[in-house]
Structure 1
Amino acid sequence: MAEPPRRVLVTGAAGRVGRVVLELLARQGVAVSALDLRDPGDLVADRVVTGRADDPAAVRAALDGVDAVIHLAAIPAPTLGTPEEVFLGNAGGTFVVLEEAGAAGVRRAAVASSFSALGLPWAARALHPAYVPVDEALPLQVEDPYGLSKQVDEATAAMMARRHGMTVVALRYPLLGAPGDRLGARAADYAEDPASGARELWTYLDTRDAARAAWLAIVRPIEGFHVVFATAPVTLAPQPTEDLLARFHPSVERRAPMPGRTAPVDLTAAGTLLGFAAEHLYEPVPAGEAS
C-alpha cells in the first residue's frame, strides 16, 4: 500500500455509497471531509460542507487539508432530471472536483464511473456488447445523457491525471446495494424475468465492496489514470450465465467460458491494479421460486 491519506474528501457523502465509504474511512482512522447538497446531521465526518460538486467555491472549502478524494456526487440515472441537468451536473461536478483537487496539490482520487458508460443500460433500444466478458477496452455505445456523463467523467479523469500529475481511478460500478436494500428485489426480478437484467448483464456489487474498492483506489501503489470494472464475480440472476447470454445476447462473441453464474465481466484489472475482489456475494432465489 502507498502511504495512507491523512484526510479524504468524500463528495456525495450522504448517498448510498457515500455513507458506507465514511464508515470505512472511520474504521481506517482517516479524517473525513464530507461534501453534499445538504447536511443530514448524522454523517460520520468531522467536517461537513454543504454545496454542489460543480461549485468551485464549495469544493475549495471542502478540500482544505485534504490529500485524497473519493468523488461520488452525481445524479445517478437519466430519469432523475432533465438531460441537461443530468449531463451538465455530473460532467461539471467531476471536472470541478478534480480540477480544484489538482490545483490544491491532491494527487490521489477515485471517481465513481458506471457500467452505464458502456451505453447498454439506458439506451432506447436493445444494445449488445461487442464481446463478453466485457473489459475496459470494450467499445462504448452511449445514447443517453447519464451514460455520456460517465464517459466524459472518464475522459476528464484521464486529462486531470496528465494535467496535474494525479493518480485517478474511475470505478465502473454496476447496480449497487445491500441484501436488504435493492439487491434482494432486483434478484427476485431477475429470477422471474431475466430479460429485466440483460442490459446490465445481471451484474451487481454490494455497497460495502464498492466502498472498499474506492479505498483501494486511493491507497494502492499505482500511478496515472485507470478505468476499472468493480463488480461481483457472479451475477444476481439464478440462471446460468451461458444460458442467459444465449437467450438475450446470442450473437455476441464469447472470449472466455463463463460457467455457472460467472459475471460476464473481465475482472483482471480490479485484481491486478487494486488487489480487489468482492467479498459480499448475494445468493439469489432459484428461478421459479421468486415471490
Structure 2
Amino acid sequence: MPELIRPTRVLVTGADGTVGRPTVEALVDDGIAVTALSRTWSAPTPADRVFTGDAADEVLVRDALSDVDAVVHLAATAHPDLDTPRAVFVGNTSATFTVLACAGEAGIRRAVIASSINAFGIPMNRHDVMPAYYPLDEASPVAHDDAYSLSKWVDERIGAFACSRWDMTVVALRFPLVRELAALRDTVRRMIAIPGEQARLAREGWAYLEMADAVDAILRGLTQPISGMHTLLVAAADTILNQSTEDLLDRYAAHVERRQRFDGRRAPIDTSAARHVLGWAPVVSLAEGEASIIMEATA
C-alpha cells in the first residue's frame, strides 16, 4: 500500500471560520506547521504564522505561501444572502483562482478546497426544481439560480484547471451543513421549524456532517497518495429527520427517480467516491444514543 503523504507546512485560508479553526487545530495537533490566513480573527490561532487579509489578494497570498507544501482553501462568503450576487460570486471565485494559481506557480502540488453540496445548484434554486435522481452524486445535473452555488461549481472548475496547468492534485469536498455536535443540535432545531424547510431540504437529501468527520476528510485530502482532480460528496450516513428516508421521499419527492432503496434513515447521498479516493467514511451520527436530537418530520 502506498505511503501517506505528510506535508510539512499547510496554508489554511478562512482559518478563523467554522471549519477553518478546527482544521488548523487538527493540523497543529498532528505536528504539522500551519500558516493561517483570514480576513478577521475572533480569537488567537494556534498557527505559528498568521496573515490577515483577503484570499483574493495576490501579494498577500504569495507571501503566505512561503515554505508551504500544501493548501487548504476554505475562505469564502458562505451564503448567497451575505452579500450582493456579484460580490459573492466574484469574491469566492477570485479567491479560489488566486490561491490555486499562486500555489501552482510556487510549485505546490496538493490542495484541498471547500466546495458545497449546493454546487449543482438545485438546493437553493428559487424555482420549483428537484434533483434528477437519488442518491445525489457528483454527476447530478446542474441548475444554477444563485451566486453562491454557481461560485462553488466554478471553484471546482478552477480546481480542474489547476490540476491541468500545474499537475496539482486537487480535492474539492462538497460539504453539506457542517457543525460540531452541539451546534448541529441547535441548527437543526431552528431549520426544521421554518415552514416549508423540510420540503426544501429534500433537494439536498436532508444532509449534514459533524465537524470531526469534515476535518477528517480534509486531512485525508492532504495526505492520501492520489493524483488528479477529485470532486467528492461528503455527508453523514443518515438524515437529520427522525423518519424513514423512503417515507420522506414519498412525501416530498415522489416523482424523482430512485436508483436504489434507502433503508431506515439512510441519507440519499452517494459518498462512495470519497470512500474510494480518500478511504473516508462518516463516523458521527446525530441519531446515536444521548446525542440524538433528530426531530420528527411535520407538515
Map 1:11-50 → 2, pairs under 5 A: 11-50=13-52
Displacement of 1:137 in angstroms is: 1.3
Map 1:1-291 → 2, pairs under 5 A: 1-187=3-189, 189-190=191-192, 194-283=198-287, 284-285=292-293, 287-288=295-296
Tell me if structure 2 keeps the 8 A contact 1:10–1:69: yes
Range 198-207 or range 160-169, more displaced? 198-207
Distance change >3 Å, CA 205–CA 8, structure 1 → 2: same
1:82 and 1:192 mapped to 2: Cα distance? 24
Range 123-132 or range 166-175, more displaced? 123-132
Displacement of 1:60 in angstroms is: 0.6
Deviation above 6 Å: which 4+ runs of structure 1?
Answer: none
Tell me if structure 1 keeps the 8 A contact 2:176–2:208: yes
Tell me if structure 1 keeps the 8 A contact 2:9–2:34: yes
Tell me if structure 2 keeps the 8 A contact 1:191–1:285: no
2:176 and 2:297 mapped to 1: Cα distance? 25
Displacement of 1:286 in angstroms is: 5.6
Distance change >3 Å, CA 271–CA 288, structure 1 → 2: closer
2:253 and 2:229 mapped to 1: Cα distance? 31
Distance change >3 Å, CA 247–CA 215, structure 1 → 2: same
Displacement of 1:163 in angstroms is: 0.2
Distance change >3 Å, CA 183–CA 157, structure 1 → 2: farther
1:235 and 1:211 mapped to 2: Cα distance? 19
Displacement of 1:196 in angstroms is: 4.9
1:191 and 1:243 mapped to 2: Cα distance? 19
- Name the TM-score, length of structure 2 as normaliser: 0.92
Kindly provide the amino acid, as one letter, of the partner of residue 92 in structure 1.
S
SS in 1 for 2:12: strand
Q: Deviations over 1:33-61 (max 9, x none)?
A: 00101244511200000111111011111
Q: Deviations over 1:146-170 (max 9, x none)?
A: 0000010000000100000000010
1:150 and 1:22 mapped to 2: Cα distance? 22
1:189 and 1:145 mapped to 2: Cα distance? 22
Kindly provide the amino acid, as one letter, of the partner of residue 282 in structure 2.
A
Displacement of 1:190 in angstroms is: 3.3
1:12 and 1:2 mapped to 2: Cα distance? 25
- Name the TM-score, length of structure 1 as normaliser: 0.95
Tell me if structure 1 keeps the 8 A contact 2:240–2:295: no
1:286 and 1:148 mapped to 2: Cα distance? 30
RMSD between aligned residues: 1.8
Range 104-113 or range 195-204, more displaced? 195-204
1:225 and 1:198 mapped to 2: Cα distance? 28
1:35 and 1:97 mapped to 2: Cα distance? 11
Tell me if structure 1 keeps the 8 A contact 2:114–2:172: yes
Aligned length: 290
Displacement of 1:11 in angstroms is: 0.2
Give the percent of matched residue pairs that are identical in Structure 1 and Structure 2.
44
Distance change >3 Å, CA 123–CA 159, structure 1 → 2: same
Q: Unpaired runs of 5+ in structure 2?
A: none
SS in 2 for 1:16: coil
1:100 and 1:9 mapped to 2: Cα distance? 12
Displacement of 1:26 in angstroms is: 1.3
